[in-house]
């Protein structure tokens, strides 16, 4: 193995040849070794080094092809290197990339209008990551509670759900029910109350005069593709209406056509007061997120209440607008519904003794395996057969491929998953 470029000459090498030339010189093994040596171990990647992507396909440095069924946890709806999005980036970087929100820009103005119209809401607070969007919703809900609802200062409560996943900040992990997300990271922010997901009566019992909001995912994606019973979303909306409580849907993973609708809440009459969006809004090339909502809620923010240096930058705005346009022009919602049904049915039709259940809505699919299955072995069998996916909670393997994936690629995923299951060590 070649030694890594000495730090004293790294910058000269970059100036001489460019970063691209240096990365192309790294072998897969060198890339893994360098990452493990210099990177914090807050992820445990599968043993594959991805060097190139196109649509729903990715390649490692040895030239092996994989079908990407992780899709950056739903962020790659447009696939790797969408032609429209890449062209928009190239055009914009020749003119303006970043100014901060200290100034007005035409790109941000159009983005705010476009995203509000797409979401069917009034106002937008642009951010970068999904966790930032959720944090923004939390701040908005608390200030609304104090300045509009009349909750006594510092007494506002936000009700959340067991099994939730809303991000990794200390405030957010503080109301997670997963011990691994919380251990050694306290003390945590107070003001949250957790109830079972899918239980509307539990929400009804938990609401108090100090309740500011109910925050939940319409479908728990990271939690194992947990889909609530029909009628739950609408009943939640009704409870919030009757209790003067804000309804906040976290659609960071489920939004932007992933489930066969623009947003998962649209399967029922459950329009939110606030919504966190992100992931595919960045078109697969950069982080773009936002908190969106009703004017009377978002307007509680005054200058200085909240901000983000990169949130609402011209380049990200152009990327997001292009991503939204492609979702509409190419009927991403229809594609996700049709292809999701095809993939879920195909996985079920494998009739594997190793599979307990397949849950799905659109191209948000969870394949839960039996207790006897060695999920580590299955992860590596899938990798061996050229399928990129990872296990999430409840022994569930998540399938969230790019929405641009083709029908024949869906069929190939099914075939490769079948081969992987058949290769498992017998129980």
Task: Name the residues annotated as catalytic.
Answer: 165, 250, 279
Question: Angle CA(200)–CA(140)–CA(239) in degrees, nearest 5?
Answer: 20
Residues in contact with 83: Cβ distance below 8 Å, sequence separation at least 6, in sequence order: none
| Token output for 189 | 């922010």
CA 427 to chain centroid, in Å, comes to 34
Nearest to 280 by CA among 336, 229, 214: 336
293 DSSP β-pair partners: 123, 274
Distance from C-alpha of 159 to C-alpha of 148, rounded to nearest angstrom = 18
Tell me which H or E stretch contains 348.
Answer: helix 332-349
| Distances in whole angstroms, Cα of residue 215 to Cα of each of 33, 224, 233, 316, 401 | 40, 18, 12, 26, 26
Measure the N-to-C terminal CA separation of the chain; round to a whole number of Å. Answer: 39
Q: Say if CB 315 and CB 380 are below 8 A apart.
A: no
What beta strand segments (E) does 196-306 contain? 211-216, 246-250, 274-277, 289-293
Phi, psi of 186, rounded to the nearest 5 degrees: -80, 175
Tell me which H or E stretch contains 365.
Answer: strand 364-369
Sheet holding 211-216, edge to edge: 123-127, 289-293, 274-277, 246-250, 211-216, 157-161, 192-195
Distance from C-alpha of 143 to C-alpha of 212, rounded to nearest angstrom = 9
């Amino acid at each position: 193995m070649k030694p890594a470029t000495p730090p004293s000459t790294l910058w000269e090498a970059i100036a001489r040849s460019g970063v691209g030339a240096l990365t192309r010189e790294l072998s897969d093994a060198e890339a893994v070794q360098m990452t493990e040596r210099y990177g914090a171990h807050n992820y445990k990647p599968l043993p594959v080094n991805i060097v190139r992507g196109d649509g729903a396909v990715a390649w490692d440095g040895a030239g092996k092809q994989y079908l990407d069924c992780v899709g950056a946890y739903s962020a790659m709806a447009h696939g790797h290197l969408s032609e429209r999005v890449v062209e928009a980036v190239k055009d914009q970087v020749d003119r303006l990339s970043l100014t901060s929100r200290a100034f007005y820009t035409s790109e941000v103005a159009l983005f705010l209008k476009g995203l509000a119209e797409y979401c069917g809401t009034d106002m937008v607070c642009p951010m970068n990551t999904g966790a930032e969007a959720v944090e923004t919703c939390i701040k908005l809900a608390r200030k609304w509670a104090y300045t509009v609802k009349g909750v006594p200062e510092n007494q506002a409560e936000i009700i959340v759900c067991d099994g939730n996943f809303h991000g990794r900040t200390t405030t957010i992990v503080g109301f997670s029910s997963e011990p691994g997300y919380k251990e050694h990271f306290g003390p945590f922010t107070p003001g949250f109350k957790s109830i079972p997901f899918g239980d509307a009566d539990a929400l009804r019992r938990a609401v108090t005069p100090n309740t500011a909001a109910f925050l939940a995912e319409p479908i728990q994606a990271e939690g194992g593709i947990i889909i609530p019973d029909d009628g739950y979303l609408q009943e939640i909306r009704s409870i919030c209406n009757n209790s003067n409580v804000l309804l906040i849907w976290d659609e960071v993973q489920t939004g932007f056509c992933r489930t066969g609708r623009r947003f998962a809440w649209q399967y029922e009459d459950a329009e939110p007061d606030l919504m966190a969006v992100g992931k595919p809004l960045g078109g697969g090339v950069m982080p773009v997120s936002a908190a969106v909502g009703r004017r009377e809620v978002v307007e509680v923010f005054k200058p200085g209440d909240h901000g983000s240096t990169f949130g609402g930058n011209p380049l990200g705005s152009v990327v997001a607008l292009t991503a939204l346009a492609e979702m509409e022009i190419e009927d991403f919602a229809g594609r996700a519904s049709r292809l999701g049904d095809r993939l879920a049915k195909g996985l079920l039709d494998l009739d594997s003794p190793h599979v307990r259940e397949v849950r799905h809505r659109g191209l948000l699919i969870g394949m839960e395996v039996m207790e006897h299955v060695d999920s580590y072995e299955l992860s590596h069998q899938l990798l061996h057969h050229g399928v990129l996916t990872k296990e999430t909670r409840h022994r569930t393997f998540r399938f969230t491929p790019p929405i641009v994936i083709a029908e024949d690629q869906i069929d190939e995923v099914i075939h490769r998953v079948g081969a992987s299951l058949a290769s498992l060590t017998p129980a």
